[in-house]
Amino acid sequence: MKILMVLTSHDKLGDTGLKTGFWLEEFASPYYTFIDSKAEVTLASPQGGQPPLDPKSDEPDFHTAATARFREDAAAQKLLANTRRLDTLNAADFDAIFYPGGHGPLWDLAEDKASIALIEAFYRAGKPLGLVCHAPGVLRHAKGVDGAPLVKGKRVTGFSNSEEEAVQLTKIVPFLVEDMLKKNGGLYAKGADWGSHIEIDGKLLTGQNPASSEAVAQEMVKLF
């Protein structure tokens, strides 16, 4: 089982002067779920190399067993520091693809042609796609085989408008994940703010927020 994990290369939170990037728990928890299931994991990002970590995700309040494990794992840290360039990869070489969130993907991966092409190729091939929190935003321009938005008519979730409002970034992000999924025809559903909630529609698996990341990864593993 070969899994491609795609992280953002974007580190600017709009014009706020603050940093963003990927959310640590949303990477670490699925990464170890995959590794512990004997999967071979490849990490990639649009620019390659070290993807930017959202500094807020490394604050004590957001530490978990998985993030603690990562901090002690030199091999995983080295792997993360040397992500592959996204545009050098071929969907045929992998069995599944997973996108951790963080706000970064809304700026770069949502518009990245290589990312969009990979998503469409994985979907056409019937391979699992997992996306958590803000990462479902990368489906913004992805199309299904019929040329319609890939999420049209599919059960999906992602970071909710109420959660974005709670972190006071509604007017900072380039678009709201919940609104985009609905606009593209997705059958959006959500659970309680900050609680684990996932939606599964065939091989498309989406999670609402950081608390949902491990559940999405676990369900992906079950598909093999």
Residues 6+ apart with CB under 8 A from 11: 19, 20, 21, 52, 104
* Residue 38 · residue 220 · CB < 8 Å: no
Nearest-angstrom CA–CA distance, 26 and 29: 6
**Tokens 């901090």 sit on residue:** 71
DSSP of 86-146: GGG--GGG-SEEEE--SSGGGTTTTT-HHHHHHHHHHHHTT--EEEETTGGGGGTT-B-TT
Tokens of 166: 């709670």
pLDDT tier, 224 (very low <50, low <70, confident <90, very high otherwise): confident
pLDDT tier, 167 (very low <50, low <70, confident <90, very high otherwise): very high
DSSP of 13-71: -TTSS-B--B-HHHHHHHHHHHHHTT-EEEEEESS-BPPPB-GGGGSGGG--HHHHHHH
Residue type, 43: L
Q: What is the CA radius of gyration of the chain?
A: 16
Number of CB atoms found within 10 A of residue 144's CB: 15
Q: Tell me the torsion sign for CA atoms 132, 138, 144, 145.
A: negative
Tokens of 110: 């949502």
Global pTM value: 0.97
User: What percent of the chain is modeled with pLDDT above 90?
Assistant: 100
Nearest-angstrom CA–CA distance, 194 and 62: 12
Number of CB atoms found within 10 A of residue 61's CB: 6
The pLDDT of 54-61, averaged and rounded, is 95
Task: Report pLDDT digits (tens) over 83-97.
Answer: 999 999 999 999 999
Q: Is the pLDDT of residue 75 over 90?
A: yes
Task: Report pLDDT digits (tens) over 151-165.
Answer: 999 999 999 999 999
Q: What is the dihedral of CA 103, 107, 113, 118, to 10 degrees?
A: 0
Domains and CATH numbers, the chain: 2-222 (3.40.50.880)
Tokens of 138: 């990368």
